[in-house]
Structure 1
Amino acid sequence: MATLSDVARLAEVTAATVSNVLRNPDKVRPETAKRVMRAIRELGYRPNLNARALAEGRSTTLALMLSSIANPFYPEFVLAAERAARRAGYFLMVCNTDDDAEIGRAYLTQIAGTLAEGVLVLNTDIAINELCETAAVGAPIVLSLWEHPGRLPALPCVAVDFAQAGVLAARHLLELGHRDIGMLIGDGCGGLQDARATGFRDVMRDAGLEPDNAAVREIPDTIDAGYAACIDLLARESHLTALFATNDLLAIGALQALATRGHKVPDDVSVIGITDIQLAHQVRPSLSTVAINTEAIAQASIDLLIRLIRDPDVQTPLVVDVPPPVLVRRQSTAARK
């Protein structure tokens, strides 16, 4: 494998000149830079990023730690975050914890402050105080998709007003004339999606409707769980005319369950979710949902992390504003008949 010294020897320059061509080309005369790049291509040289990080005491890599890459939302977030990191001159390393806090701790121990200059955390079972300890001795940590803007953690975060998402979903169903509404509440690695459910319930109560606990299911954050819960609800609560799910995966599972049971959506039962993943507009009927701006949230998260890397003394905790949730009307909701 070619080394930086091999490139310098072939191009008849110093190793420092090769390094400048790779990192600060404006400091090198154009004809010299061309000679160095020709040598790089001829030798097939690739920089050793780990060695560079150790030598310089810094890395050009950011880490993004998430609970399950199998959740279709996370690849969409990763794509947006990777683009934002690349525009800022960083690589993005994705760390999948597989819903296991111990795996997450191992990642933090191995990468924070060494392979990665900063860590972006999405939904984790690791306690906030543990993350704070890592941030104090390792690298900056930012929490993204924090669900409680009014209750900020002791770490910088990008908060999303998921309670407002629940409000928008409830208003939509009520405006369509629905009163008998079931609820599917997701319980993932980041915990119960209670802010979304609280926003929904508050609107129902303001309309004089007390949510029926018999029509509520708290379930794992998967399509399969949404399917099973909907089948159970249909068997026990046949009067329901609408279903609210705290995320699109549960709602898509409900669509499948309704089709299995021979119910037409939205003629018999309306369904609405939260997030607006790609699948939401690809399923049939297409899913009404409350969209969060994934790209803007990812961009804000990367920007905040880089800000903390470049200015470690910036006052914390910080919270970054992102665009509010927006109702997206599609084929799965209609007026009650």
Structure 2
Amino acid sequence: MATIKDVAKLAQVSTATVSRVLNGNGYVHSETKQRVAVAIKELNYRPNDVARNLFKGRSKTIALFVPDIMNPYFPELARAVEDVAQKEEYTFILCNTDDDLEKERKYLEALTQKSLDGLVIVSSTMISEYIKEFNIPVVALDRILYEGVPSVTVNNFEGAQEAVKYLKEIGCKKIAHLAGPQDVRNAEQRRGGYMSEVEQESWFQSSLVERGGYGIEEAMASTTRLLKAHPDIDGLFAANDLMAVGAIKACETLGINIPDQLSIVGFDGIMLGKTTSPSLTTMAQPIYDIGTAAVEMLIQQIRDPDLLIDMKEFQVKLVERGSTIRKEEVT
């Protein structure tokens, strides 16, 4: 297989000149260009895309950092990022960080050594100093990192309000909340939306809010505590769909019928919610559109570092399924 050195030798030029011709960088005399073109054709030379991009200071590679690949929300998000990256001829790398700052930093160090072009990140731990240190385009996804970093989010506060209003509308008289981790901004926004709808209610008590870890196991334990402390709870809003699934599982163990005795609403709209028994009512995010927007914003930044990109917020939508029921329907 011919190399760039073979082309340079046949065309009687330097390898740097061949690189300039291939990449369109710098001035090359038209006659010299012609000699290089003839040599490339004669040798059937195929430029190495990696080498070509590294010559430009780019690798055509982007990464997506997510905190928990076991949460179905993130693989659905990753699919959108990968699809757009592939369409734009970028290589896509998925990194599971466990929201561990040191792990995030190690990934960044390794990837930037390989000329990483940009990063889409879901993180509650990454700080501005580290992002600035690595000096690459970044888009925050699902959560806002800090001012100056473009982000793609949803209306978490208002979506949570809508979920609680819906539970009230269908007749729920005492509504509890499974809250996400305290250090995760979107979890706090969803808790805030819940609180805005219930804190003035005569039945509200702070013990109606239980923390979960955005996962099934912790949510099962939290739901059990809630229902044992407040057996008259008839509505539950969970800060994500996985916790809502955990709540359904806890109710199965406790012998509580969903939705006749307890209506449950989640948040995210992951595919898993369609397969639970009963299927899960949720505040659905446009997950694919969110991932698409994030990587499109990132590629815009890569192509034009001076481009000012701020924030894009999507709206969630109530999807009614079997985990909720209007009280007049209960016989």
Output the TM-score relative to the length of structure 1: 0.81
**Pairwise CA RMSD:** 3.1
d(CA) in 1 for partners of 2:183 and 2:216? 15
SS in 1 for 2:121: strand
SS in 1 for 2:142: strand
Which residue of the partner structure matches residue 232 of structure 2? 239
Amino acid across the alignment from 1:139: I
SS in 2 for 1:193: helix
Trace 1:161-200 onto structure 2 (pairs within 5 A): 161-187=155-181, 190=184, 193-200=187-194
Change (3 A) 1:215 1:264: same
Does structure 1 retain, via aligned residues, the 8 Å contact 2:220–2:246?
A: yes
C-alpha deviations, 1:30-67, integer Å up to 9, x for none? xx9xx98xx89xxxx99573x44432211211111111
Change (3 A) 1:273 1:288: same
Amino acid across the alignment from 1:216: V
Change (3 A) 1:102 1:177: same
Q: Which one of 145, 154, 165 corresponds to residue 142 of structure 2? A: 145
Structure 1 range deviating more: 182-191 or 287-296: 182-191
C-alpha deviations, 1:284-321, integer Å up to 9, x for none? 100000001111111110111111111111236x1124
Trace 1:245-264 onto structure 2 (pairs within 5 A): 245-264=238-257
Does structure 2 retain, via aligned residues, the 8 Å contact 1:67–1:189?
A: no
Are 1:218 and 2:211 an aligned pair? yes
How many pairs does the alignment contain?
305
Amino acid across the alignment from 1:281: K
SS in 1 for 2:246: helix
Which residue of the partner structure matches residue 104 of structure 2? 104
Does structure 2 retain, via aligned residues, the 8 Å contact 1:147–1:160?
A: no
Amino acid across the alignment from 1:121: I
Does structure 2 retain, via aligned residues, the 8 Å contact 1:128–1:154?
A: no
d(CA) in 2 for partners of 1:147 and 1:267? 38
Which residue of the partner structure matches residue 290 of structure 1? 283
Which residue of the partner structure matches residue 67 of structure 2? 67
Change (3 A) 1:156 1:191: closer
Does structure 1 retain, via aligned residues, the 8 Å contact 2:139–2:151?
A: yes
d(CA) in 1 for partners of 2:61 and 2:298? 12
Output the TM-score relative to the length of structure 2: 0.82
d(CA) in 1 for partners of 2:115 and 2:159? 37
d(CA) in 2 for partners of 1:3 and 1:227? 62
Based on CA coordinates, which of the two structures has the bigger radius of gyration?
2
Does structure 1 retain, via aligned residues, the 8 Å contact 2:124–2:143?
A: no
Gaps of 5+ in 2: 8-12, 23-36
C-alpha deviations, 1:59-85, integer Å up to 9, x for none? 211111111211111111001111111
d(CA) in 1 for partners of 2:209 and 2:149? 33
Trace 1:155-166 onto structure 2 (pairs within 5 A): 155-166=149-160
Are 1:319 and 2:311 an aligned pair? yes
